[in-house]
Amino acid sequence: MASVPQQLQASNADRRMVPRSDMSLGVTLHRVGEAELIPAAIANLSATGFLAELPSSEPIPDVLDVDLPHAGRRQAQVVWHDGLLAGCTFTRPLSKADLSAARLKSEYVDPSVPRPPALDPADPIWDIAGEATRQERWPLGTRVAVISAAAIACWAPVLGFAALII
């Protein structure tokens, strides 16, 4: 006998007008109009919506922006949110090219193998505290000068050796 989630998935699949593709695609969700990032993974995707796996069961806003390959930032409405999963619909459907790009960027998902949770909030990959912000970076001119000086310094021994031989 199938479990309740499997039965729900089967009944939802029958009701859907647009088929969804299983995948594991890491994305970033954004609160509309804010810089706050929410790491997520898309578990399935169609032209009209997606299932997002979230790192925590904290509340999420009703409207999100999602960064997708080729499609860029697209707005989505959260239809339901239950624990670590959220079902969303796009305000504008994706094109075939957008769907293909997402499929190409995602990892292969074998439907016969149970999937572990895609996100672990304790994973150090989500810790961005140590990354440089735009204010902490050197100005462009300084960065170009340092890179140029390093390139010249790397070639100095080669040119010096060539001068000795000639």
pTM value is 0.57
What is the tens place of the pLDDT at every residue in 131-153? 656 566 788 899 999 999 999 99
pLDDT at position 2: 44
How large is the average pLDDT for residues 31-45? 83
pLDDT at position 25: 87
Same domain assignment for residues 12 and 58: yes
DSSP states of 83-134: TTEEEEEESSPPPHHHHHHHHHHSBP--TTSPPPPS--TT-GGG--TTSPPG
Same domain assignment for residues 29 and 78: yes
CA gyration radius, the chain:
23
Same domain assignment for residues 15 and 77: yes
Whether the CA torsion 6, 10, 13, 15 is positive or negative: it is negative
Same domain assignment for residues 25 and 49: yes
Does residue 41 carry a pLDDT above 70? yes
Does residue 45 carry a pLDDT above 80? yes
